[in-house]
Each structure stands twice: as structure tokens, then as C-alpha cells.
């Protein structure tokens, strides 16, 4: 079993939602290559898009027998979508390897 956060936040605005997950959890679950460009990164957290990437996270937890974190909800008037996306060239394999250390 992999140790990840025990609680996470689902952030949503009038149009969409994202699961806020520490990048270290993404690296621990080794799913960075499975996340779409519709999810964002801010340097500390990943914001997993609700329609596809949230499910990637859940499936990875289940596959590794890792308990799902408690999910808290937070509404915002406008989610900041001006962030780097998964797949941006700055997020190399070296970036993810450093998070795993």
C-alpha cells in the first residue's frame, strides 16, 4: 500500500470541477503519464479534471489497495485555469523522479 494524503479537496466553479491532489501523491501513484492535458499543475498541487482524470486517480488507489482520501468540497466563483497543464515540456521524467525521492 502506498501512503498518500488522507483528505483532498474537490474544487468546483459554475462550469466544472477539479480534485486538488499534492504532486507527491501523483508521483507516488505513478500516474503522471495517465493524466490528460485538461488537468493543471501549480507547482505543489495537481488539479485533476473531474470527467476523466479524477477517475484515473481513484482507479490508481484501488489498484494499489490504497484507501481513498476523504474528499471535501469547496465552491469558487471562478477557478484559475491559467496554469501549466499536464504534458507541458517543463514536467519531465526528472521532475517526477525528484518528487518520488
- pLDDT at residue 92 above 70? yes
| Residue 29 is assigned to a structural domain of this protein | yes
CA–CA–CA angle 69, 16, 93 (5° rounding) = 60
**Per-residue cell: 63:** 489498484
**pTM, whole model, 2 decimals?**
0.92
- Residue range(s) defining the domain that contains residue 61: 7-100
| Residue 17 is assigned to a structural domain of this protein | yes
Q: Residue 3: helix, strand or coil by DSSP? A: coil
Q: For residue 1, what pLDDT band results from cuts at 50, 70 and 90?
A: low
How many distinct structural domains can be found in the chain?
1
Per-residue pLDDT tens digits for 77-87: 999 999 999 98
Beta bridge partners of residue 21, listed in sequence order? 46
Amino acid at each position: 500500500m502506498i501512503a498518500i494524503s488522507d483528505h483532498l479537496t474537490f474544487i468546483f466553479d459554475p462550469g466544472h470541477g477539479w480534485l486538488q491532489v499534492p504532486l507527491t501523491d501523483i508521483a507516488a501513484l505513478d500516474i503522471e503519464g495517465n493524466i490528460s492535458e485538461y488537468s493543471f499543475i501549480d507547482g505543489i498541487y495537481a488539479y485533476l479534471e473531474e470527467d476523466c482524470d479524477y477517475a484515473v486517480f481513484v482507479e490508481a488507489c484501488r489498484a494499489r489497495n490504497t484507501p481513498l482520501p476523504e474528499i471535501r468540497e469547496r465552491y469558487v466563483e471562478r477557478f484559475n485555469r491559467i496554469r501549466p497543464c499536464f504534458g507541458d515540456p517543463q514536467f519531465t521524467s526528472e521532475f517526477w523522479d525528484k518528487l518520488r525521492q
